[in-house]
Amino acid sequence: MLLVRRRAPVGSFFEDGDRAAGVFGVLATRFAVLIGFVVFLAFTSYDSARTGAETEALVVAQQLETAQFLPQDVSETITEELVCYARSVAGVQWAEMRAGTLGEQVNPWASEMFRTMRTTEPVTATEQSAYDRWMDQTSTREEARRDRIHGAIGVIPAPLWLVLIFTTFAIFVFMLFFADSGERRIVQAVLMGSVISVITAMLLLLNALDNPFRDGIGTLRPVAMQRTLKIIDQELVVADVHITAPCDADGNKQ
């Protein structure tokens, strides 16, 4: 704007300022409506990922309690695998989501728990009830995991990003024609800077909501699962259960 105003006539390039302001109002309104809907879409995905992570952590804690009522020959094994599952979610898998490399990978400890449960043969009524409860909780946990990882891939398609960027560029070019050599530099700088800074802030917000696991302000962190791991340690002490998890602190197999 400061460069263009050097050759701009007094009163801007527009002979009819009211008409130019009306056109700019149309551009700004269309952009505001579009980005409003897109922000709503991105926030919905963001909130779904956050809720999924919290639900998954809650179900893991509940499954730990359920596991203590399963047959003795699988109770300890399934408890160890469940602890490793929680460590994996808060550790290596969360890092992969942040890096965008998780893809369609399943949690390996979920597969281990499935194999263990296949060998389970409940006998008593308590064991049968715990078995049924475990299966229901597994379905809930898998649905929560799906919601969590869905937010890692982003929901805004590339064509929509192109439209937003094109509209931003069009507004930027249109604003340059408001350059006025008769205005003070500070006024021209504020005129351009206020519009572009607001648009830039909206695009940055949109990018943050569309990538909830990236590094930076507002990123989603495995707080819920880390809290569940602490609760699990306390519950194991209360239940007088001693396990040796076959994984490290990040959930990698040992």
Residue 2 maps to a domain = no
Q: What is the pLDDT of residues 118-145, one digit of tens each?
A: 988 888 999 999 999 999 999 999 999 9
Question: For residue 157, what pLDDT band results from cuts at 50, 70 and 90?
Answer: confident
Compute the distance between CA of residue 75 and CA of residue 242 in angstroms, rounded to an integer.
12
Question: For residue 103, what pLDDT band results from cuts at 50, 70 and 90?
Answer: low
The parent domain of residue 190 ranges over 16-236
Structure tokens at 199: 């648009």
Residue 11 maps to a domain = no
124, 127, 129, 133 alpha-carbon torsion, rounded to 10°: -170
Residue 48 maps to a domain = yes
Residue 102 maps to a domain = yes
Residue 7 maps to a domain = no
DSSP class of residue 69 equals T
Nearest to 234 by CA among 64, 78, 85: 64
Compute the distance between CA of residue 51 and CA of residue 48 in angstroms, rounded to an integer.
5
Residue 4 maps to a domain = no
Nearest to 31 by CA among 229, 209, 200: 200
**pLDDT beyond 90 at 180:** no
CB atoms within 10 A of CB 42: 23
Residue 244 maps to a domain = no
Phi, psi of 157 (to 5 degrees): -70, 160
Residue 245 maps to a domain = no
Q: How many domains does the chain have?
A: 1
pLDDT, greater one: 218 or 205: 205
To 10 degrees, what angle do helices 185-210 and 17-67 make? 30
Question: For residue 181, what pLDDT band results from cuts at 50, 70 and 90?
Answer: confident
